């Protein structure tokens, strides 16, 4: 992540599908929502094993690395820690801030000590090193001592800006509890590789998609390399980390401990050829979740979304709540030819009144018909009881199917299967996470192919762009909380990224 930040969810799938006024806009918006999931996953991919304090109010020494990071955390939007390795090449950030020869000499002397890189809101990167290892003979640098650390800026202007932020955004280490969430993150970041970010960092990475990422606005994770994989484990939430003051140990077993059995699972099992696809249709991303609102954020709470849902489709508040609470499975499929590089397929169970769903789908049909689309006519001689509803543009000479839906008879329940930019899957791939011990959200993706197809936006580091497999699993940090809102406040996130040898 050297050199700056770069990158690039409760709300119903139906909301996105039915509010959009064209299949092209509709497909693009959901693909962007899917990319958002990747965005979040990769931000995590780019922490706490026991605190030494026995007194909850016992604080760090003023010159400890964690105390210094606490001072810096209010002035930087993202900080990542790395372990030095003299056998590897000198990082470019070291060379840029120290000069070629001084950087080379210090890199060798620094050994396997932890060093840090911080980012400001304007995107400038700061090199942060331990003062105890910093040679006094290096002069003429744009640096500032903060506690036990030396912070090096790119130029005098950025150094002055940092000093001003340090002055106005001070974090009081006299009130910060060392076993709170923020305290645990800072302690972990001072001892091992990891990353901590705030809402400004997420907004910088995601731009206009930021409203879809509110559940991951703030977070910290611990990172670990193992057998060609980058593993991570940590906590994300919609509020500042400092707002969670309870003891970490009572919230979840072993927080911040990267699972030793976490491995990268590829998409081979998902990439079997469906009956309505070719062998070249490969799954680029699959998401299974306990609730639709876990990936589409807070859009349903907005009046600009609620009004057309009720006016045009009869989806009132009660129905919106039911849809947002439905489990779902979603996958992004590559397309070897045609108008779209990829198509999105979504499946969710048909619960409640069948008549209500029929009314909604009929309203969608009427809306599409009025916007220049026409339904593909089936063979009237042998109509199927649950025939798919497929749509195309009236003025399209190629008669390309742009999407549709079909009701699939599953063994346990009927499933509504939706396709955008692709025909809906006519077989069930719906995989609800029903076990209480299971994860609330499970994501598997192929970043390398997403990048090749131009579906992975942003300035992600090369190892991320070239990774062959991404796995993310998210569950409530406190599953025993009395209310759903409390269970949804903080999430434990773990995952893996399978790296390629040349990255």
- The residues near 345 (Cβ < 8 Å, ≥ 6 apart) are 330, 331, 332, 333, 417, 418, 419, 420, 422, 424, 425, 429
Q: Is the pLDDT of residue 376 over 60?
A: yes
Lowest mean pLDDT among 268-282, 330-344, 398-412, 445-459: 268-282
Three-class SS of residue 103?
helix
Longest dimension (CA), the chain: 89
Residue 248, pLDDT > 80, answer: no
Q: How far apart are the C-alpha atoms of 412 and 428, rounded to whole Å?
A: 11
| pLDDT tier, 358 (very low <50, low <70, confident <90, very high otherwise) | confident
Q: What is the pLDDT of residues 225-235, one digit of tens each?
A: 888 899 999 99
Residue 150 has pLDDT above 90, yes or no: yes
Number of residues in the chain: 503
DSSP states along 19-80: H-SSHHHHHHHHHHHHHHHHHHHHHHH---S--S-SSTT----TTSHHHHHHHHHTT-SEEE
pLDDT above 90: residue 178: no
235 vs 494: CA distance, rounded Å: 9
What pLDDT score was predicted for residue 199? 86
**Nearest C-alpha neighbor of 252 from the set 477, 475, 474:** 477
pLDDT number for residue 222: 94
Q: What are phi and psi of 141, to 5 degrees?
A: -100, 155
Residue 237: helix, strand or coil by DSSP?
Answer: strand
> What mean pLDDT is predicted for residues 321-335?
89
Q: Give 213 or 154, the one with higher predicted confidence.
A: 154
**What backbone phi and psi angles, to 5 degrees, belong to 40?**
-65, -45
Find, among 300, 267, 339, the residue nearest to 27 by Cα. 339
Looking at residue 440, its pLDDT comes to 86
Percent of the chain whose predicted confidence (pLDDT) is above 70: 70
Lowest mean pLDDT, pick from 107-116, 350-359, 482-491? 482-491
Q: Which of 6, 227, 243 is nearest to 125 (CA)?
A: 6
385 confidence band (pLDDT: 50, 70, 90): low
How big is the chain by its Cα radius of gyration, in Å? 25
- What pLDDT is attached to residue 88? 94
> What pLDDT is stored for residue 210 in this prediction?
62
Query: Average pLDDT of 153-173?
Result: 86
* Residue of higher predicted confidence among 501 and 290: 290
Mean pLDDT check: name the lowest of 154-168, 232-246, 254-268, 334-348: 254-268
Angle between helices 65-73 and 181-191 (to 10 degrees): 120
Residue 389 and residue 369 in contact, taking contact as beta carbons nearer than 8 Å: no
Buried b (16+ CB within 10 A) or exposed e, 100-135: eebbebbbeebeeebbbbbbbbeebbbbbbbeeebe
Q: Compute the Cα dihedral for 444, 447, 451, 452 and give only its sign.
A: negative
3-state secondary structure of 219: strand
Decide if pLDDT at 346 tops 80. yes
Query: For position 384, what pLDDT does the model report?
Result: 58
Q: Are 335 and 421 in contact (CB under 8 A)?
A: yes
CB 220 within 8 A of CB 194: yes
Q: What is the pLDDT of residue 128?
A: 97
| pLDDT at residue 193, as a whole number | 96
pLDDT band at 315 (very low <50, low <70, confident <90, very high): confident
Phi, psi of 202, deg, nearest 5: -65, -40
Mean residue pLDDT across the chain:
77
The answer to whether 292 and 346 are in contact (CB under 8 A) is: no
- Looking at residue 432, what is its pLDDT? 76
Quick one: pLDDT at residue 74? Answer: 84
> What average pLDDT does range 446-462 have in this prediction?
80
Mean pLDDT along residues 4-20: 33
**Is the confidence at residue 138, as pLDDT, over 80?**
yes
pTM above 0.85, yes or no: no
Does residue 113 register a pLDDT over 90? Answer: yes
| CB count in 10 Å sphere of residue 212 | 24
pLDDT of 80 reads 95
d(CA 226, CA 229): 5
Q: How confident is the model at residue 353 (pLDDT cuts 50, 70, 90)?
A: confident
CB-side neighbour CA atoms (13 Å) of 92: 5
* Greater pLDDT, 383 or 322: 322
């Amino acid at each position: 992540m050297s050199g700056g930040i770069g990158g690039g969810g409760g709300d119903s799938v139906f909301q996105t599908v039915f509010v959009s006024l064209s299949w092209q806009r509709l497909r693009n918006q959901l693909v962007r929502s899917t990319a958002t999931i990747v965005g979040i996953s990769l931000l995590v991919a780019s922490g706490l094993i026991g605190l030494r304090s026995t007194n909850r109010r016992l604080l760090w020494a003023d010159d400890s690395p964690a105390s210094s990071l606490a001072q810096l955390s209010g002035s930087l939007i993202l900080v990542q820690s790395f372990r030095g390795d003299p056998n590897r090449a000198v990082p470019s950030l070291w060379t840029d801030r120290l000069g070629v020869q001084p950087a080379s000499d210090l890199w060798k002397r620094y050994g396997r000590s932890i060093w840090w890189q911080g980012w400001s809101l304007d995107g400038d990167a700061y090199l942060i090193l331990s003062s105890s290892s910093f040679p006094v003979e290096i002069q003429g640098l744009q640096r500032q001592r903060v506690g036990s650390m030396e912070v090096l800026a790119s130029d005098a202007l950025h150094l002055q800006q940092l000093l001003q932020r340090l002055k106005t955004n001070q974090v009081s280490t006299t009130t910060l509890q060392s076993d709170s969430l923020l305290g645990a993150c800072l302690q972990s970041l001072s001892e091992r590789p990891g990353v901590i970010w705030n809402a400004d960092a997420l907004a910088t990475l995601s731009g206009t998609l930021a409203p879809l990422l509110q559940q991951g606005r703030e977070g910290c994770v611990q990172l670990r390399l193992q057998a060609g994989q980058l593993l991570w484990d940590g906590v994300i939430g919609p509020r500042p980390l400092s707002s969670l003051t309870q003891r970490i140990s009572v919230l979840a077993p072993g927080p911040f401990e990267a699972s030793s059995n976490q491995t990268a699972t590829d998409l081979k099992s998902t990439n079997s050829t469906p009956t309505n696809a070719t062998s070249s249709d490969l799954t680029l991303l699959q998401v299974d979740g306990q609730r639709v609102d876990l990936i589409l954020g807070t859009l349903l709470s907005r009046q600009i979304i609620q009004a057309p849902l009720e006016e045009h489709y009869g989806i009132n508040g009660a129905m919106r709540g039911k849809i947002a609470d439905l489990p779902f499975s979603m996958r992004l499929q590559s397309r070897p030819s045609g108008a779209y590089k990829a198509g999105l397929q979504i499946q969710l169970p048909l619960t409640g009144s069948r008549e209500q769903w029929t009314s909604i789908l009929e309203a969608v049909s009427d809306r599409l018909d009025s916007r220049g689309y026409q339904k593909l006519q089936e063979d009237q001689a042998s109509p199927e009881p649950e025939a798919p509803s497929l749509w195309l543009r009236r003025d399209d000479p190629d008669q390309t199917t742009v999407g549709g839906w079909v009701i699939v008879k599953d063994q346990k329940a009927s499933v509504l299967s939706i396709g955008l930019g692709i025909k809906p899957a006519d077989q069930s791939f719906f995989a609800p996470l029903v076990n209480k011990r299971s994860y609330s959200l499970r994501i598997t993706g192929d970043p390398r192919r997403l990048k090749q197809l131009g579906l992975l936006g942003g300035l992600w580091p090369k190892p991320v762009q070239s990774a062959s497999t991404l796995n993310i699993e998210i569950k409530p940090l406190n599953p025993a909380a009395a209310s759903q809102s409390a269970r949804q406040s903080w999430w434990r996130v773990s995952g893996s990224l399978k790296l390629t040898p040349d990255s």
